[in-house]
Structure 1
Amino acid sequence: RYKKTLLKYFGRFSPQARANVKTVTMDLNFYYQDIVRACFPNAQIVIDRFHMIQMLTRSFNSLRVQVMKTFDKRSRQYQLLKSPWKLYLKKYDELEKVHPRYNWHY
């Protein structure tokens, strides 16, 4: 997992073999980008889906909390952002469409 160790490992492969690598899938670790660019000159970097969704979810929640804090705690807007936060992260297919529940916040 260390940059030096990974560069040494990939350095054992021939430059021609490393030049044939088309894509590299990785997480958002900063060091991995440097390693990919140094070892695989023709590779395109692809961020894996799990980490992309995780990053978007964290960003969405941070923005939700930031906006929520601008309202008074007793206000309707605050409660709309505070209480059903899990609902905002639910997949569309998992939402109840046949028997929707009534929520007094809405």
Structure 2
Amino acid sequence: MIHNGHLKTNIHYIIANASQPIVIRLLKQRVKCRDCSKGSMAQSSLVNKYCCISNKSKLKILSALTEDRSMTSITREHNTSVNTVQRVLASCSHRFIDSYDYLPEHLAFDEFKGVDRKLHFICLNGETHEVVQILRNRFKKDLLKYFGKFTSKARANVKTVTMDLNFYYQDIVRECFPNAKIVIDRFHMV
């Protein structure tokens, strides 16, 4: 192996104050094989290969994603872009695998205005008010597809579904949850 120069990279590092960003200039040594002329580059535990954001900064961004905050506030605090925050989230999303073996006994369905002022579907645990799932749209075929992924035992476990007067939610409940009773939300009844 022979020395083949350096690659200068600017690494964004953990910051305590977004108005004073820390940038580390890292010189990665390049080497070349004398026989086959194949090149390679030195690696550092500070940063992943082909990346310019330090691993510690990514961990800090991931920690901020666990809080109830917007991505734009996280980007302002860490002096990065929204795309960087989304990439950090996507890099660990494979760890969050949905389980289709359980559904709570009491569910609540509704829609809300979300991204781009479009209506999204939300499913809650009717007792604890914890979010079971948020789907990008509220179309009947997509809801049937989502609830169809659950085992028949999990769907049979559902006893009640609380909803507004949306006409196709009732069809979904009758088709997907054989033992569930439909409860119309009091607010919509008034």
Query: What TM-score, normalized to structure 2?
Result: 0.28
Query: What TM-score, normalized to structure 1?
Result: 0.49
Bigger Rg, structure 1 or 2: 2
Higher helix content, 1 or 2: 1
Higher strand content, 1 or 2: 2
Q: Which has the bigger relative contact order, CA under 8 A and spacing at least 6?
A: 1
